[in-house]
Amino acid sequence: MAEPQLIQIDKRGAVAVVTLDRPEKLNALTPDMLGQLEQAAGQLEADADLRAVVLTGAGDRAFCVGADINQWSALAPLDMWRVWVSRGHRIFDRWAALRLPVVAALNGPAFGGGLELAAVADVRVADPGATFALPEAGIATCPGWSGTQRLVSLIGPSHVKSLALTARRIDAQRAYAIGLVDEISEPQASLAAAMAIAQKMAELAPVSVQLTKQLINAAAGCGAAATLEAMAGALCATTRDAREGMASFRERRPAQYEGQ
């Protein structure tokens, strides 16, 4: 029996809307959903027609309230590390490193892993009724999917401590004030507002947008080495010397380089 499709991808021209589709459970994340998020990242990367992504949650009650406690609380300690924390980190890192810009439409509460997922986006738009929290300490655990890492880069250690060490919830206005969200939409219009931003991104030169994203990520300490090597390799590939090097290899002769 095929597993239910809990991550939906809806292409709208050059923009893909990716939806966490488990509204009856407030889009709480399960192992199956993590796997489907990873598959979705691969699909998005491979689609040459796409220029931007919007990430949101189904329904009008939540963006994502985090990891499904009934799923992870049953895991043995080693499985918690191998299956849950390590895998979630890898998948969230892959989303953060997507070449395409990602806009999160936060249509309701984003708690724990849901807030950590929102943090992988490049821009976050919140409904005025959205709330935010890192509640893990209230159930005797810790943020597990970069809540103490990526969020620190985003809003600074003091604001993360204020959330994580109290487990308190903050509203959209407070989230905007500390830089956790970039824009507050009209009520029930976070998806429309996020789509408008994504469509603007999609109108611009795609290679420039994607390279600029990588440069900014590198400045923030994410993937700097890979970014430098990729851009150096791409620059070398545009030179006449590169064409000469390939030709000399195929023709089994010494290369005649010009420095151009």
Question: Would you name the residues annotated as active-site residues?
Answer: 116, 136
d(CA 184, CA 178) in angstroms, rounded, equals 13
Picking from 19, 22, 18, the residue whose alpha carbon sits closest to that of residue 4 is 22
Integer-rounded Cα Rg, in Å, for the chain is: 21
The CA-atom distances, in angstroms, between 199 and each of 47, 53, 108, 194, 196 are 16, 9, 22, 9, 5
For residue 98, list its beta bridge partners: none
For residue 183, list its beta bridge partners: 125
- Phi-psi domain of 9 (left: phi exceeds 0; alpha: psi -120 through 50; beta: other): beta
* Contacts for 206 with CB less than 8 Å, ≥ 6 apart: 51
DSSP state, residue 251 = H
SS3 state of residue 256: coil
User: Hunting for tokens 């195929």 — which residue is that?
Assistant: 250
Beta strand residue intervals within the chain, DSSP E = 7-12, 15-20, 52-57, 102-106, 110-111, 123-126, 131-133, 170-171, 183-184
DSSP character string of 119-136? TTSSEEEE-TT-EEE--G
d(CA 132, CA 176) in angstroms, rounded, equals 11
